[in-house]
């Protein structure tokens, strides 16, 4: 069975102390995850070691970086490399979140470079894709997202692709309170899996976890995650509230 993943994206929120308390509150719920379930916490860079230490000893709970730079090393003041992240013992990194694409103009080519560096450093990329509202309204979301995958992932071998987690984010549903219907989410996830199957074969495509990211909440996670091609969620605002994210973790199938 594919990994079922509840991934928290804290974005640029919480102080160190608040983040520590949030993790304490979530871990206090003592949710036992099965071998095919994971809870991943993408925290700001200054909190990575704290999160790793908090989660150590809890089976299938992991810390993740929210980003890395697309160069191996060098005179890039303020940037963080995949190698630096790996040296902390962090094995996950969010790549290509819509906010990175929009605010920092990250291209599909830049994201391909980041994916390569993560894999070179044995870091699992959580690769984000998704369409803005105008694309959805024009009905061209399938081709838009297909280009994102082709230009950033399809240079990979089948073995490398199996190390990727994909997160589909309808950009129009992030932080807006709007949520794609369960049918819309399932439809896009199934389409993404078809694209992967066309390129790599159905057996490979069926091993790739595809998360939904777009206003996942405690009260809709169970329905969303119940869809056959939705393998969990990349959760923003609701991951900052212990009771909500606990419920979201419990909603994994």
Closest among 195, 194, 196, 252 to 224, alpha carbons compared: 252
Q: Contact at 8 Å (CB) between 28 and 249?
A: no
46 vs 15, 80, 91, 121, CA distance in Å? 10, 11, 16, 20
The residues annotated as belonging to the active site are 97, 169
| 152-161, Cβ contacts within 8 angstroms, sequence gap of 24 or more | 152/96, 152/108, 152/109, 152/111, 152/112, 152/115, 152/127, 153/112, 153/115, 153/127, 154/199, 155/112, 156/115, 156/119, 158/200, 158/201, 158/204, 160/119, 161/196, 161/200, 161/204, 161/208
């Amino acid at each position: 069975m594919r990994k079922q993943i509840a991934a928290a994206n804290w974005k640029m929120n919480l102080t160190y102390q608040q983040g520590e308390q949030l993790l304490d509150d979530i871990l206090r719920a003592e949710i036992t995850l099965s071998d095919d379930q994971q809870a991943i916490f993408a925290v700001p860079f200054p909190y990575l070691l704290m999160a790793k230490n908090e989660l150590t000893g809890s089976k299938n709970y992991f810390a993740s970086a929210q980003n890395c730079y697309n160069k191996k090393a060098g005179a890039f003041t303020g940037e963080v490399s995949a190698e630096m992240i790996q040296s902390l013992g962090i094995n996950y990194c969010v790549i290509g979140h819509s906010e990175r694409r929009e605010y920092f103009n990250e291209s599909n080519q830049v994201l391909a470079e980041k994916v390569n560096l993560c894999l070179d450093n044995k870091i699992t990329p959580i690769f984000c894709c998704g369409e803005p509202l105008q694309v959805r309204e024009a009905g061209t979301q399938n081709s838009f997202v297909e280009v994102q995958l082709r230009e950033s992932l399809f240079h990979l071998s089948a073995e490398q692709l199996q190390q990727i987690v994909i997160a589909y984010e309808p950009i129009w549903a992030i932080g807006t309170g709007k949520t794609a219907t369960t049918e819309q989410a399932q439809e896009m996830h199934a389409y993404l899996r078809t694209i992967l199957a066309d390129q790599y074969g159905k057996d490979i495509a069926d091993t790739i976890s595809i998360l939904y990211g777009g206003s996942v909440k405690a009260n809709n996670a169970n329905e969303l995650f119940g869809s056959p091609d939705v393998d969990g969620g990349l959760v923003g605002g609701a991951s900052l509230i212990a009771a909500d994210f606990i419920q979201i973790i419990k909603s994994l199938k």
